[in-house]
Amino acid sequence: MIDIRPATEHEMIAAFLQAEIRSSRFQVYFPPDLGAYHPRGRALIEAPNFKDAAENAARRTLLGYRGYPDTALFHGFPVNVTWHLVRLELQDFARMRCAAEQSLVALSGAPRLVSDAAHTFEAGGPVAAPFQQIWGVIAALRAGVGFAPLIAEQEADGSLILVEGHSRAIAYEITGLRDNVQAFIARAPTFAGWGYHGA
């Protein structure tokens, strides 16, 4: 991976929300009327002003549907992380793993490699059924649509475990459109306590 620059928690949160407000799986967790939630409405997510502390707090609260900062998906996630914006390289995709979530493990197999998940998804079958939204991501990628950066944590050996963006990562693998993919990377002494870290 190529480091672009240090990043902030606020940037990661905005990218997380930008990805999931467009997701057929997760957009249902957003307020139906974002204008009632915040005066800027959807622009709170799509055009964030990181200099506005109240905006940052509103987005942070909004990510609570995923348990941020310390429950559900983020249970046990270290508090002493530093965030970095990077550009991923092919070797990063080769070693990228899925979070240790039951349906993702079924799709990817024990090593939890995103590349294995992509092969299994393309083959179809029961374990691929819950992930049919990936076909829409594939079509969008092939049409030239851009997506928010992936979000992952970096292991001591440099490999990555995804926190957010599994559908996009699998779509990148299937299409081969892995050039210029960016990610927000969390770095910390250890992620062993994170509930979705796995072995």
Which tens digits make up the pLDDT trace of 85-110? 999 999 999 999 999 999 999 999 99
Q: Please tell me the pTM assigned to this model.
A: 0.96
Whether cis (ω within 30° of 0) applies to the bond prior to 126 is: no
User: 102: burial class by Cβ within 10 Å (0-12, 13-18, 19+)?
Assistant: exposed
- How many of the other CB atoms lie within 10 Å of CB of 182? 18
35-85 pLDDT tens trace: 999 999 999 999 999 999 999 999 999 999 999 999 999 999 999 999 999
- How many of the other CB atoms lie within 10 Å of CB of 120? 18
